[in-house]
Amino acid sequence: AEYWSNDRAMAVEDIRFRAGEQWPELVKSQRETDKRPCLTVDKLNQYVRQIVNDGRQNRPSIKVRPVDSGADMATAEVMQGIIRHIEDRSGADMAYDTALDGAATCGQGYFKVLTEYAHDETFEQELVIRRVRNPLTILIDPNSQEADGSDMKFAFEIEEISKDDYELKYPDKSEDNFESDTDYGEWFSDEVVRVARFWEVVEEDRMLYLLEDGSVVAEDQYNELEAAGMSLSSRVKEKRNIPKRKVMHSLVNGKEYLEEPKEWLGKYIPISVVWGNEIDVEGQVIHSGIIRPAKDAQRLYNYSRSAFAERVALTPKAPWIAAEG
C-alpha cells in the first residue's frame, strides 16, 4: 500500500475528475460565495467511451493453436469451444469492458478468474471470469515486471463490509479484537470492517534430470526409480532446479484468518491486470489514462465557458436605443 500510495492517490483524482469534480475546491467555494457561475462542460468522457467502444468492436480473444507433434487441430477446437463457453457463461465481455474503462480513466483495470459451483445441486465447479468494478480494491506485488502481472508473488483483494454482515458471517471473529490494538485502525470503523483475500505464490524446490538417452524425469519420478533399485545417477547428463509454483489463498481481516489458507488449482494468481500508460521513474511506477494529461485543458475550457456565461448574464437583455443627444 505504501509503494502504490501515490499512484492510487492520483488514480482517485482522475476518477473524481471524470465524475465531474473538475473545479478546485477553493476556487469553487469562492465563486459560489460571490454568486458567480461555475460551469462544468465535460469534454473527456466522450474520449473514454470511444476507447471502450473500440474495444467492444475489436474484442480481445483467446486463440488455441496446436504447435507440436503431440497436438492436433481437433483438440485445439474443442479447447477453443470450452473457453468460449466459459466466457459466454461468465459474461466476460463486461469484465473486459470494465477493465478497459479503468485503464483509460486512471491507468489501471482488473478482472478475475474464479471457480463457482455449476448449480445448487452439485459439487462440480466451473471457471468464471468476473469483473472488478473498483480497480482500487486490488493491490498487487510491486516487484511484478510483466505487463499482465503474471509474475506477481502476492496480491490482495480488499472489500469493506458492514459490521452487521461481518458479525453474521464470522460470529467468532469479533471486530472488538481490533479496539485494543491501534495498529489495525484502518481495518475497522464504527460502520464497516475491511476484509481482504490474500493470494500468495509459494515456490518449492524441484530438481529436473536429463538422462543420457534424452529422456527427462522429475525429482519425484527419479526418487521412485532409485527406490525401485534402478541406479540413474550414472546416467544423469544434466540437472537443474525448477521451482514448483503453488498458489495459496486465504481471507484475512488484517489481524487473523477468517478462512484458513487453501490451494488454488493453478500456478498463477488469477487476477489479470490491464494497464494504461505505464512510466517507471527511478523504480517508482506511475500509471495513467487519458484523463490526467487533459485536466488543465478541461479546466481552462470550464473557466472560459463560465466567463462567457457570466458576461452574457450581465449584459442587459433589451438595451434602450436612441439618437445621440
Q: What is the chain's mean pLDDT, rounded?
A: 89
Q: Note the pLDDT tens digit of each residue in 196-210.
A: 999 999 998 888 888
Give the pLDDT score at 260.
Answer: 92
Residue 276 contacts residue 106 (beta carbons within 8 Å) = yes
Measured CA to CA in angstroms, residue 314 lies from 27, 31, 183, 210 at distances of 21, 16, 57, 87
Q: How far apart are the first and last CA of the chain?
A: 75
Residue 63 contacts residue 76 (beta carbons within 8 Å) = no
The yes-or-no verdict on residue 325 having pLDDT over 80 is: no
- DSSP letters spanning 262-294: EEESSSS-SEEEEESEEEEETTEEEEE-SSGGG
The sheet carrying 207-211 orders its strands as 216-218, 207-211, 236-241
Name the CA dihedral angle for 248, 253, 259, 263, rounded to a multiple of 10 degrees: 0
Give the pLDDT score at 319.
Answer: 62
pTM metric for this prediction = 0.84
Residue 317: CA atoms inside 13 Å, Cβ hemisphere, count?
1
Provide the pLDDT confidence category of residue 155 given band limits of 50, 70 and 90.
Answer: very high
Give the pLDDT score at 244.
Answer: 86
Residue 204 to residue 182: CA distance in whole angstroms: 36
Alpha helices (runs of H) in 123-162, residue ranges in sequence order = none
More confident of the two residues 214 and 20:
20
CA 81, distance to chain mean position in Å, is 26
Give the pLDDT score at 140.
Answer: 95
Among 109, 113, 112, 114, CA closest to 147: 109
Q: Residue type for 80, please?
A: Q
- DSSP letters spanning 154-180: EEEEEEEEEHHHHHHH-TTS-THHHHT
Give the pLDDT score at 312.
Answer: 84
Give the helix/strand (H/E) hosting 125. Answer: strand 125-131
The yes-or-no verdict on residue 182 having pLDDT over 70 is: no
Q: Note the pLDDT tens digit of each residue in 253-284.
A: 888 899 999 999 988 999 999 999 999 999 89
Mean pLDDT of 130-143: 95
